[in-house]
């Protein structure tokens, strides 16, 4: 069958987009519309499910099926849908408050179950929709509307949490780094099992520039490191710095000072998440922050496959259920 060739515009719904001008969400929406036509999945087979927050308006702007659900719970709706409709491609759109604060429980359980859905976490390190309170990823000491003397919460690192839950696909990208974001979303879509993409997303109203070290084109080369499977970890405008492992910790070295094979080689395929976890601990300003795919392990059974495999196996073993036979089973008696 020849599928009609779709363009990004075919995925735009008839609704006006209502994010603030300059919001990082626009870029994520644009990259998503670019990626979807490349996947060969018809629009009617795609579902976007979101929670609550600025990012969670996303489904309204996509000409696919969609559900704007309740705060923090989007992974649960996605799990029920994907378990019963494995033919659908399901995306979860969430934010740092939605996924990590009110929805923290569902976030880790979706990841550990490995439901074949793609989670895109818009991390702007602030509550935008409720107008500027600190979020679980806001930094210590950050002054916000609800923390006039500075936040005393230790921030949560979403990728470390995901790796602890042994998520099978974990990645990070940046709203302003459009090519990278597009490529990363495509990788997430292609992964079988739960995919998590954390996107550094600028909230230009309540937390402008919080991640400018990574978003700003001129600062990015020194402050981020693009992960590539099988390649050494090298960064810097002049690609003159690298990461090596000494004992059980990572350190920055000048590439000129060490033999080439001293540098850490990125292995996104290894089952053991320990090295991926170490990468997730690299935080600005001590380290360049890795972007790209931290982990992409294949062959782990998905929840949706298994729940449906059990139904098929039960039918193979017992035959398709017969209600009358079930009702008549066990001890019965006749009344004449």
Q: Which residues are at the interface with another protein (CB under 8 A)?
A: 13, 15, 42-45, 47-49, 59-60, 62-70, 73, 75-85, 87-88, 105-106, 109, 307-308, 310-311, 313-315, 317-321, 323-324, 326-328, 330-336
Least distance between another protein and beta carbon 319 (Å): 7
Q: Retrieve residue 20's tokens.
A: 């603030």
Least distance between another protein and beta carbon 336 (Å): 6
- Cβ-Cβ contacts under 8 Å for 227 (sequence gap 6 or more): 233, 266, 268, 279, 290, 291, 292, 293, 294
Own/partner pairs for 326-332, CB < 8 Å, 24+ apart? none
Q: In the complex with another protein, which residue's Cβ is closer, 65 or 213?
A: 65
Q: In the complex with another protein, which residue's Cβ is closer, 81 or 174?
A: 81
Phi and psi based region of residue 293 (left: phi greater than 0; alpha: psi -120 to 50; beta: remaining): beta
Q: In the complex with another protein, which residue's Cβ is closer, 84 or 146?
A: 84
Least distance between another protein and beta carbon 269 (Å): 28
Least distance between another protein and beta carbon 273 (Å): 21
Least distance between another protein and beta carbon 224 (Å): 34
Q: In the complex with another protein, which residue's Cβ is closer, 256 or 326?
A: 326
Q: In the complex with another protein, which residue's Cβ is closer, 72 or 288?
A: 72
State the sign of the Cα–Cα–Cα–Cα dihedral 115, 120, 126, 130: negative
State the sign of the Cα–Cα–Cα–Cα dihedral 37, 15, 80, 163: positive
The answer, yes or no, to whether the previous bond of 184 is cis (omega within 30 of 0) is no
Q: In the complex with another protein, which residue's Cβ is closer, 12 or 282?
A: 12
Q: Assign 3-class secondary structure to 121-180.
A: EEECCCECCCCCECCCCCCCCCCECCECCCCCCCCCCHHHHHHHCCCCEEEEEECCCHHH
Q: Retrieve residue 267's tokens.
A: 């292995």
Least distance between another protein and beta carbon 66 (Å): 4
């Amino acid at each position: 069958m020849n599928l009609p060739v779709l363009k990004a515009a075919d995925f735009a719904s008839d609704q006006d987009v209502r994010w603030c001008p300059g919001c990082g969400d626009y870029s994520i929406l644009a990259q998503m519309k670019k990626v979807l036509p490349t996947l060969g999945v018809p629009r009617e087979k795609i579902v976007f499910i979101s929670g609550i927050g600025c990012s969670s308006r996303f489904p309204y702007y996509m000409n696919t099926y969609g559900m704007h659900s309740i705060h923090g719970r989007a992974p649960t709706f996605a799990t029920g849908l994907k378990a019963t409709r494995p033919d659908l491609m399901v995306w979860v759109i969430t934010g740092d408050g939605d996924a990590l604060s009110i929805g923290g429980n569902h976030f880790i359980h979706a990841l550990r179950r490995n439901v074949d859905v793609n989670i895109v976490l818009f991390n702007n390190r602030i509550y935008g929709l409720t107008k500027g309170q600190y979020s679980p990823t806001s930094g210590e000491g950050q002054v916000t509307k609800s923390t006039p003397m500075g936040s005393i919460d230790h921030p949560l690192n979403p990728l470390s949490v995901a790796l602890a839950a042994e998520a099978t696909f974990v990645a990070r990208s940046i709203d302003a780094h459009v090519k990278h974001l597009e490529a990363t979303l495509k990788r997430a879509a292609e992964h079988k099992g739960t995919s998590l993409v954390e996107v550094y997303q600028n909230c230009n109203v309540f937390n402008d520039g919080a991640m400018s070290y990574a978003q700003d084109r001129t600062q990015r080369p020194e402050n981020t490191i693009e992960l590539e499977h099988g390649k050494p970890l090298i960064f810097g405008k002049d690609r003159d710095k690298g990461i090596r492992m000494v004992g059980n910790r990572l350190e920055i070295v000048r590439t000129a000072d060490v033999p080439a094979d001293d540098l850490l080689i990125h292995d996104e395929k290894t089952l053991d998440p320990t090295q991926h976890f170490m990468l997730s601990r690299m935080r600005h300003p001590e380290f360049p922050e890795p972007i790209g795919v931290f982990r992409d392990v294949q062959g782990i059974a998905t929840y949706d496959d298994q729940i449906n495999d059990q139904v098929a196996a039960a039918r193979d073993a017992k035959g398709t259920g017969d209600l009358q036979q079930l009702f008549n089973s066990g001890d019965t008696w006749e009344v004449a």
